[in-house]
Amino acid sequence: MAVFRDAVAVLVVGGVALSSRGAMYADGLSVQTALGLCVSVEGGVAASGGSVVAFVDSDFLLCKHAVSVRGAVSVLGSAVALVRSDFLSTEDYAVAFYSTVSLAGGSMLLAKDNVHDGVSREMLHAAGAVTAAGSTLSFVRNRALLPRMLSLSLSLSDGARLRVACNDAGGGVLSTAEEYAAAGFGDAGSIDVVGCDACDRDTHCYAPGTASASMKNGVCVCVCGSGGHGEACV
């Protein structure tokens, strides 16, 4: 397990390989550069066997990219989570994957309660294809200044789902599949829109680590089960 907190920048030269519930978990990370790379993985990322790559409650200021990965990302039965982080005054994409991204075997890519005020590029970009098989991509209560939030090409198979809830792009809450498609989420027919007042475990939480989910004071709260940790139970 690697845990990061305050830093000027984090550079991972050889890539990240996690297995058997391994974790790269940044909680409360605060990073600021003069338009450089804040968290940069120069190789790829491979996560399997219930592993977690997560950035939670983190602040990224004046970065070219807040998080960037040069190599391929392969996630098998594991989770990648960006939760309640601020991407402020980024020069380019807040999160950039320069190669392919593959999710399989019940994996999840969760982006929840993040803020991006960049005026030139989207919050999340993938240069290569993003493929999901039997997995979930979930975007919940994110806010972006631009009307487009994503820049990627997404392919879903074997029951994979793209679930979205209460995201704000360009100053307005997205409420239909067509609006999400215009914001960069892909084909409208593949987008599962969940209402702002709904509390769905498979949308707001990492299901394998979640016992239940319920509304409390207008917020969908994930109650973690065995192995779950934090707000999203990753």
Q: How many residues does the chain have?
A: 234
Cα separation, 62 vs 154, whole angstroms = 29
pTM assigned to the model: 0.92
Alpha-helical (H) ranges within 77-216 are 177-180, 201-204
- Longest alpha-carbon distance in the chain: 44
Spell out the per-residue pLDDT of the chain, length 234, in tens. Answer: 444 444 445 666 678 999 998 988 888 888 887 767 788 898 999 999 999 999 999 999 988 899 999 999 999 999 999 999 999 999 899 999 999 999 999 999 999 999 999 999 999 999 999 999 999 999 999 999 999 999 999 999 999 999 999 999 999 999 999 999 999 999 999 999 999 989 988 999 998 899 999 999 888 999 999 888 888 998
Domain residue spans in the chain?
2-197
User: Tokens at residue 84, please?
Assistant: 């309640």
Q: Kindly provide the b/e burial profile for residues 82-94, where b requires at least 16 CB atoms within 10 angstroms of the residue's own CB.
A: bbbbbbbebebbb
Contacts of 98 (CB under 8 A, 6+ apart): 68, 69, 70, 71, 127, 128
Q: Which two tokens stand for residue 115?
A: 């803020």
